[in-house]
Chain A
Amino acid sequence: MAEFWDGGYAYYATALLLVIGLYAILVKRNLVKKLIGLNIVQAAIILMWVASATRPDATVPVLDTHGEQGKQVVDATDYLNPLPHTLMLTAIVVGVATTGVAFALLISIYRRYGTLDEAELLEQMRGEPQ
């Protein structure tokens, strides 16, 4: 039980988020809801990465040079792993860009078809001449 609260819960929670997001993408009919689902999936994965960067009793990975004078040795285990954080910054940016493009597409779809319901859209699309 201790492991769960110590660090494990994060993974279960993000896994749950992942499933929720995938559910939304697959099952929801409204395109905006699908997009939200995608965002949830991306958020879940980002959180997994970030969660895995933690260490017991570690602090934010900013090098403390104003601390005790003369202390030259830096113990890496005092700090969180910064790499996943930096990577996820990039991933967040990617997610934002994707969402932006997606919304542009949704606007275009809405202008052309007047609906954002997938079932109706597919009907209209199938009926068109190629």
Chain B
Amino acid sequence: MTYDSAIPLLAVLVSLAAVPLVLVSSRWPRVRESWTIGAALVMFGLVISLLPRVLDGRIPETRIGELVPGFDLALRVDPLGMVFAIVASTLWVLTSFYSIGYVRAAHERHQTRFFAAFALCLSSTIGVAFSANLITFIVFYEILTIATYPLVVHKQTPEAIAAGRKYLAYTLTAGVALLAGAVWLSQTAGTLDFTPGGVFGDVEAGSGTVRGLFALLIGGVAVKAAVVPFHAWLPAAMVAPTPVSALLHAVAVVKSGVFGVLRVTGFVFGPTVMEDYGLALPLAIAAGTTIVFGSLAALAQDDLKRRLAYSTISHLSYIVLAAALLHPDAFVGGILHITTHATMKITLFFVAGAIYVHAHRDRVSELDGIGREMPWTMGAFTLASIGLAGLPPVNGFESKWFIGAGAAASGQYLALVVLLLSGVLNAAYLLPIIHRAFLRPSTQYEGLGEAPALVRVPLMVTAAISLVFGLFPNAIVRFYDLARMSADAVFGGAG
């Protein structure tokens, strides 16, 4: 089943190697950008090369070395990790092109720092995706925190610096909680390996211990997953340039958080333990609250990026809720939602950035008529919005479907209600934007023309991807199969 391979490690190292290369090329923008694109493509290639084996049921592993006595720094590519890695590496390629276009059009300063930090973030995200055990996960998770800080404070305005402080306050606190939880787990269960179905198999542990461990570990990952009440850093972090918001706060950072939730619920505790100790209910309540809260808050925002930020908060908890439902279909839906939300949300953020850079607007109330000048851009926005509301034929429909199916099959109808309500609210905060853009009479954008190609093409590509995967959920990379394999492993004989 498992076999040794150096490729997972290489994937992590590729973008890590790009960091010094970018730093020394600061005087030659084209060289610097080619390092960025090159690293993205190579990493993408390495990740995809692992796919056939993983689909076959084989698991590549790299044992790097002993980190602390008894626990190794190790990488392992199981179906869940594969899904996350594909999402991250694919979207990084697209975001690289987008960022180059964006920073040129926006005349951003400190571009070298920007691209170097980006590369480090991706390296640590892939590290998170491929972590074989909790301590490896923590190492890459914390590196990700530090790597994203320069990106959040990029503009160096007082708001940016304050947002950076808030971000660190939340994420570093989560980091120490993870450390304490991991140490405790290492002594309670004797292992930190991510094991489908949980590590508590034969272990005797009191309910106080199990609940305490769960609180620490879930608390640690829930911050990056922006679960209420740990969400406040996310809207504040929107002061960062849009490519940062797009990739990191719609894909890499927050998805690392929900990925962590899936790992903790499915591979550390497991459905049986979660059920026996009543761990799922508090998690479900928190997730449900977040879903509704995020959607409602999004309605109230006029700043486009902040509206999208609250939407992200809401959608992340779809995945958390899916994990808390303790049903294989819901788990599949949660994993799929990582992919679907990523493509849809990144489209929306790309559009927001395109509008900002091309039309110099960032408020919903100012977008009247813009769709007539930027039809392709706003068309992509429309497509993504349909998907976020959970409607076919965009991919958002199917991930939501599976979560809902799992809720219904396990009799948790309240969750179903929350999902449906959220769908309605999604429509409520996204469709008016489209209405304004295409149907409100206004001449303020006359003659503007479409956004620059380097910015427009990526967003059209991500929208197209959302549509394609909506029509063919198991296309090309076979996300559905991977998700199902993962859920089967976790729920094993149980569930």
Establish whether A and B are touching in the complex (CB under 8 Å): no
